């Protein structure tokens, strides 16, 4: 009698069960799954029925265990398919109620706002402290100690490295002649011949944009020049030469022959002297900044001290006596672009240049150049005025204009907060120096302007402002300088003659390029 055959499937099942790895404990026999997150699952299974040869495969029961690796506790869960809990469940975990926007703002937003406000308060306090310290004290950078503002620019170094004498008005002495200049004859270019000391007109032959830029740079212009050919006039009394350049600037071409083109170079270094609106009313009346877009207010500690004229994006022309009381640059500002004092936007001053006072003639050399830290943005209300030509001569009675925020009272007094304008005329220097006038005080570097009968004049607060002449374009021919009283019949205003200081103006601006 043959033995009952065990079903192949049962044999395979039994062998599979027998081959399963055993645990450390006999009661925990069964296959082990790969550990995950520190838990090592164990699956022990056992037969719940005897194995009957030739019968059906016995039923098996299994219990899942999660055996902790290390010192973790064992968590058991029945593999009952009807169980409502996950295999490793130890109880219900309550869900967190989501925060409302109000609760989120209270817990997150308010602390952030408090932090931001604290930072802002600290910044504001720090700025206020700096403003107060800068107003009344000067910090010596190297030695890191403060000195009173009154000791700055007093001619006596108080800082270890004399830093307190550096941010001051600079004295820039007159220099040798610049070797180029422009004539009132159609703005023609002239060049100095060093071997003879004579001046010659530049021929248009082979003249280039590069030569134009070089010539303008010698006069202190950092701009895009324009030039054109103009025919040589019948009254041309200078030699006409072809020019080239070297490291110093323009020079006469040694092999210069005749000017084949028969034309001279008409050069314009800057678009200047154009206003949007022409002045229409005469005599100390309110002015429009559209008519005088180059007029600026030069202020110390926000107080108007002097007027000035815009020469280009960085340079302001004014009078030297404006700075004799306040030599420290820190509190100087320049304001441009509006008629009303309270509508200005200020720009800080980088440097101030004067020639230096002439002790024997203290009223001479009353001219200064102010360099701004930031460039002026040109518009309809901010534009440059032209410098005069070197050979510009103004005959007596030539009409001129003055403008400013100065006093409207004959003996001075409160200044106007509105820009005023007036038409005046050139007064003969002989009349100006008469016994009942200035008795010889007016020199060749000055000119007089006013009304023969008096009544219209510049006054305190107008100092440094422009005396203007129109010949196709507006030129600043004078700087408001000094006078006896305001508007007297025999004592007109006295002005610095700008044409006498063109070489100095060119030299200062070129030194800062």
**Which of the residues are catalytic?**
321, 366, 463
Rounded to the nearest 5 degrees, what angle is found at the Cα of 273, between the Cα atoms of 270 and 426? 130
Closest among 441, 308, 448 to 368, alpha carbons compared: 308
Report the b/e string of 117-149 with b at 16+ CB within 10 A.
eeeeeeeeeeeeeeeeeeeebbebeeeeeebeb
Element (H, E) at 48: none
Positive/negative CA dihedral, 487, 489, 491, 495:
positive
Instruction: Give dist(CA 243, CA 204) in Å, integer.
Output: 9
Element (H, E) at 132: helix 110-136
Give the largest Cα separation in the chain, rounded: 166
443 Cβ partners below 8 Å, 6+ apart? 361, 364
Q: Which phi and psi (to 5°) does residue 453 adopt?
A: -90, 0
Instruction: Give dist(CA 150, CA 136) in Å, integer.
Output: 8
DSSP E strands in 237-336: the ranges are 239-241, 243-246, 249-252, 263-268, 285-286, 295-300, 303-310, 315-318, 332-336
31 Cβ partners below 8 Å, 6+ apart? 20, 21, 43
- Residue 91: which region, alpha, beta or left (left: phi > 0; alpha: psi -120 to 50)? left
Give residue for tokens 């204009």. Answer: 401
Instruction: Give dist(CA 480, CA 430) in Å, integer.
Output: 19
- Residue 250: which region, alpha, beta or left (left: phi > 0; alpha: psi -120 to 50)? beta
For 319, the token pair is: 């009078």
Closest among 359, 182, 145 to 270, alpha carbons compared: 182
DSSP 453: T
Instruction: Give dist(CA 480, CA 367) in Å, integer.
Output: 10
Provide the pairing of β-strand 345-354 with 368-372. antiparallel
Instruction: Give dist(CA 217, CA 511) in Å, integer.
Output: 10
Cα-Cα-Cα-Cα dihedral of 251, 253, 256, 258, to 10°?
-40
């Amino acid at each position: 009698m043959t033995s009952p055959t065990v079903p192949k499937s049962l044999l395979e099942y039994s062998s599979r069960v027998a081959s399963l790895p055993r645990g450390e404990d006999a009661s925990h026999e069964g296959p082990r799954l790969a550990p995950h997150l520190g838990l090592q699952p164990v699956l022990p299974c056992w037969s719940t029925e005897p194995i009957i040869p030739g019968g059906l495969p016995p039923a098996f029961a299994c219990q899942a265990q999660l055996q902790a690796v290390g010192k973790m506790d064992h968590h058991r869960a029945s593999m009952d398919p009807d169980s409502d809990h996950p295999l490793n469940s130890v109880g219900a975990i309550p869900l967190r109620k989501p925060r409302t926007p109000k609760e989120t703002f209270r817990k997150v937003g308010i602390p952030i706002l408090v932090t931001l406000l604290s930072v802002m308060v600290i910044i504001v306090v720090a700025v206020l402290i700096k403003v107060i310290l800068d107003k009344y004290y000067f910090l010596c950078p190297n030695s890191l100690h403060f000195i009173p503002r009154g000791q700055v620019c007093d001619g006596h170094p108080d800082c270890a490295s004399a830093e307190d004498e550096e941010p001051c008005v600079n004295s820039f002495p007159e220099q040798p002649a610049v070797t180029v200049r422009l004539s009132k004859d159609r703005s023609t270019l002239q060049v100095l011949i060093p071997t003879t000391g004579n001046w010659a007109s530049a021929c248009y032959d082979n003249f280039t944009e590069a030569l134009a830029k070089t010539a303008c740079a010698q006069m202190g212009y950092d701009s895009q020049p324009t030039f054109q050919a103009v025919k040589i006039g019948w009254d041309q009394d200078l030699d006409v030469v072809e020019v080239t350049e070297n490291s110093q600037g323009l020079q006469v071409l040694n092999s210069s022959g005749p000017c084949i083109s028969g034309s001279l170079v008409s050069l314009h270094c800057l678009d200047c002297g154009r206003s949007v609106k022409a002045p229409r009313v005469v005599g100390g009346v309110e002015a429009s900044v559209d008519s005088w877009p180059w007029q600026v207010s030069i202020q110390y500690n926000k107080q108007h001290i002097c007027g000035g004229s815009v020469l280009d994006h960085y340079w302001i022309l004014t009078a030297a006596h404006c700075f004799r009381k306040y030599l420290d640059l820190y509190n100087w500002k320049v304001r441009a672009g509006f008629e009303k004092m309270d509508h200005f936007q200020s720009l800080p001053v980088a440097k101030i240049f004067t020639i230096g006072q002439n002790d024997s003639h203290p009223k001479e050399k009353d001219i200064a150049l102010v360099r701004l830290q930031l460039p002026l943005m040109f518009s309809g209300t901010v534009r440059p005025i032209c410098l005069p030509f070197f050979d510009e001569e103004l005959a007596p009675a030539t009409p001129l204009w003055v403008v400013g925020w100065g006093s409207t009272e004959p003996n001075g007094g409160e200044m106007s907060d509105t820009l005023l304008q007036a038409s005046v005329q050139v007064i003969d220097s002989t009349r100006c120096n008469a016994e009942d006038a200035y008795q010889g005080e007016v020199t060749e570097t000055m000119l007089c302007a006013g009304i023969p009968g008096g009544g219209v004049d510049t006054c305190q607060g107008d100092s440094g402002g422009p005396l203007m002449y129109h010949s196709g374009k507006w030129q600043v021919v004078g700087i408001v300088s000094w006078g006896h009283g305001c508007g007297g019949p025999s004592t007109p205003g006295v002005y610095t003659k700008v044409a006498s200081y063109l070489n100095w103006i060119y030299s200062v601006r070129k030194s800062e390029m």
